[in-house]
A and B are shown apart, each in its own frame.
Chain A
């Protein structure tokens, strides 16, 4: 079945620096890769996603890159701010299957922005 490995489990960066979180997946049929941000006491919130026909996508300070050959994708946050502190989850889905198993999530990265 699908499997998603996410690293690191915890990441501490200085405010203003960049943060990178990486995920690898096993299912070569995966073609949809969203990233979610979860703040304490809240549900995960979709922050950016990418489909397999695109190698990179940007939205202001957030970008996601996808390497289908190597089966890995990464979240990049530039100019980090205190409000970026949260747990980030990567996920993947083989949409040809109609999402029958839902998204498969990584175990999460706790991002800490040091003032």
Chain B
């Protein structure tokens, strides 16, 4: 597609439930990133994928967070046993390659845990 597509755009879930967020990167972009943005805050790096290499999971805040990507296509970010502090906008970005190519961000998924 023309841009990075994320779904759902909004998600309200009960504390303790699992959620799955989806990201469709720009076709041909080998690198894909997930960020978390809390209200009024900057962007917190979570994880990135580059081609078929093992992902860099160094930014994931806890073992409740996991992400997968099949090849150079869709990625899903899963949060298990959601907590209220997980409430945030989850942004996905893709780039042509890692490093210095600039990222194209999706519009994000606003997650609210009640």
Contact = CB atoms under 8 A, between A and B. Distances in A.
Q: What bracket does the count of chain B residues touching chain A fall in?
A: 20 to 34
Contacts of B102: 34, 46, 49
A105 B56 CA distance: 18
Interface residues of A, number: 28
Contact of A43 (B4, B45, B98): B4
Given A42-B107, A45-B105, A102 B33 contact: yes
26 contacts: A32-B99, A34-B102, A36-B105, A42-B107, A43-B107, A43-B108, A44-B43, A44-B105, A46-B102, A46-B103, A46-B104, A49-B100, A49-B102, A51-B100, A95-B99, A95-B100, A99-B100, A100-B56, A101-B56, A102-B33, A102-B35, A103-B33, A103-B43, A105-B42, A106-B42, A108-B42
A101 B42 contact: no
A115 interface: no
Contacts of B48: 99-100, 102
A101 B45 contact: yes
B41 interface: yes
B31 interface: yes
Contact of A99 (B4, B91, B98, B107): B98
Nearest to A47: B102
Contacts of B56: 100-101
